[in-house]
């Protein structure tokens, strides 16, 4: 049976990976916004039909009446900037110039007058959101969303359950009370892989003060254990570093890192590892990940934010190169994403600043659709 589409607004849309995740589920993005021109261009290269509804502007200039002109929006997504909340950032929190954009997202929703507010909101950010300013920032954000009428749930999902990348993120899902499914619970959820102890503590602290709920969700999948499925096999030989650069890489390794490096190099099987450049006691050095998946992709603001790929095994000379935009896309679950716009660094930046497609699609399948289209499953069976 054909399902009625779900109209959505995509705040802080970036290169469009939320749309990539949800469009196959019947979500129709009728408005998208981002301030970065390069991200807009990448978005339009993959979704040309968005030309008429992609608003490239500072969200501070967006008003609720802009959304009132659109078809009724049932879902609003917001991957607002994390730089002020991240442990690797400046920790200014929601008073920061970047992460403080949350307040403008809430303002736009509040200003919607001619249309009902979206029935569901989905927010994504780093785990640091929960601890910023001793938890005060998260409390104020939950309070603001509650004032807008939403009942709230908090999830934590690491993308390693879907792709070979360690990328822990937290999600806040707000639902208008009239749309809460019958199986929604009030109180403190049990600890699970999507609600670890620190998430259940958030529910325990706030469920009586704010409108909060939780839904039962299935266990997360196991996830891949190596990088083989994401390696770009079309990389030219010239992309691999020369002997001098490889030697500099090896020479920078700590004693412990070198032991791991040599063990992998002498192993009977070929394997791949990712490496970051770190500064330890004022000295720049390379570090291999202990496991065989990638570290969390970052926005490429400098050399230390980019990951190198290291090929080791069969007692051969190691091969090392920077990871490519296609590999970044694969690590974000965007295997079919078209790399038609921007420089390689702009492409790396766009993926490092995005959501993992598989994670958002899982939330869509197991949470958003059962709320927004609760009869779909029973009708299809």
**Does the pLDDT value for residue 372 go beyond 60?**
yes
What value does the mean pLDDT take over residues 149-156? Answer: 96
Lowest model confidence (mean pLDDT) among 80-84, 113-117, 170-174: 80-84
Q: How far is CA 286 from CA 46, 126, 273, 304, in A?
A: 35, 25, 12, 9
Give the Cβ contact number of residue 222 at 10 Å. 9
pLDDT of residue 378: 43
pLDDT confidence bin for 347, thresholds 50/70/90: very high
| Residues ≥6 apart with Cβ < 8 Å to 12 | 33, 34, 59, 78, 79, 80, 81, 101, 105
pLDDT confidence bin for 300, thresholds 50/70/90: low
pLDDT confidence bin for 278, thresholds 50/70/90: confident
**Does the pLDDT value for residue 1 go beyond 50?**
no
**Does the pLDDT value for residue 160 go beyond 90?**
yes
- Portion of the chain with pLDDT greater than 90, in percent: 75
pLDDT confidence bin for 90, thresholds 50/70/90: very low
pLDDT confidence bin for 326, thresholds 50/70/90: very high
**Does the pLDDT value for residue 88 go beyond 80?**
no
Higher-pLDDT residue of 98, 79 = 79
**Does the pLDDT value for residue 47 go beyond 80?**
yes
Lowest model confidence (mean pLDDT) among 130-144, 172-186, 221-235: 130-144
- Name the fold adopted by 6-224+356-380: Rossmann fold (3.40.50)
What value does the mean pLDDT take over residues 351-364? Answer: 96
> Average pLDDT over the chain, rounded to whole?
90
- Portion of the chain with pLDDT greater than 70, in percent: 91
Domain residue extents for the chain: 6-224+356-380, 236-323
**Does the pLDDT value for residue 363 go beyond 50?**
yes
pLDDT of residue 84: 47
Its pTM surpasses 0.85 = yes
Lowest model confidence (mean pLDDT) among 92-101, 340-349, 356-365, 369-378: 92-101
**Does the pLDDT value for residue 110 go beyond 60?**
yes
């Amino acid at each position: 049976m054909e399902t009625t589409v779900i109209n959505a607004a995509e705040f802080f849309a970036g290169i469009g990976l939320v749309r990539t995740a949800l469009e196959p589920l019947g979500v129709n993005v009728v408005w998208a916004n981002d301030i970065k021109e390069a991200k807009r261009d990448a978005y339009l290269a993959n979704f040309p039909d968005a030309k008429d509804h992609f608003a490239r502007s500072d969200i501070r200039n967006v008003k609720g009446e802009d959304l009132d002109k659109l078809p009724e929006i049932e879902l609003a997504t917001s991957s607002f900037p994390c730089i002020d909340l991240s442990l690797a950032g400046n920790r200014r929190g929601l008073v920061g110039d970047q992460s403080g954009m949350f307040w403008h997202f809430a303002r736009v929703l509040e200003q919607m007058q001619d249309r009902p507010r979206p029935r569901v909101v989905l927010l994504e950010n780093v785990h640091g959101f929960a601890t910023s300013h001793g938890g005060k920032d998260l409390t104020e954000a939950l309070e603001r969303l509650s004032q807008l009428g939403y009942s709230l749930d908090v999830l934590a999902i690491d993308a390693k359950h879907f792709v070979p990348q360690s990328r822990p993120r937290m999600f806040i899902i707000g639902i208008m009370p009239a749309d809460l499914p019958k199986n929604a619970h009030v109180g403190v959820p049990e600890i699970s892989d999507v609600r670890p102890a620190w998430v259940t503590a958030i529910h325990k602290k706030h469920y009586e003060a704010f409108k909060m709920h939780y839904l039962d969700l299935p266990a997360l999948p196991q996830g891949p254990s190596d990088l083989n499925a994401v390696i770009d096999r079309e990389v030219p030989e010239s992309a691999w570093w020369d002997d001098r650069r490889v030697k500099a890489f090896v020479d920078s390794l700590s004693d412990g890192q070198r032991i791991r490096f040599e063990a992998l190099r002498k192993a009977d099987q070929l394997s791949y590892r990712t490496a970051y450049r770190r500064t330890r006691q004022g000295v720049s050095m390379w570090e291999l990940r202990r496991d065989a998946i990638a570290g969390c992709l970052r926005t490429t603001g400098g050399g230390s934010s980019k990951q190198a790929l290291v090929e080791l095994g069969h007692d051969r000379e190691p091969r090392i190169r920077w990871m490519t935009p296609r590999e970044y896309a694969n690590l974000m679950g965007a295997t079919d994403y078209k790399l038609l716009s921007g420089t390689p660094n702009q492409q790396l930046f766009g993926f490092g600043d995005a959501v993992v497609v598989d994670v958002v699609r899982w939330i869509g399948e197991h949470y958003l659709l059962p709320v927004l289209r609760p009869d779909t499953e029973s009708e299809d069976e």
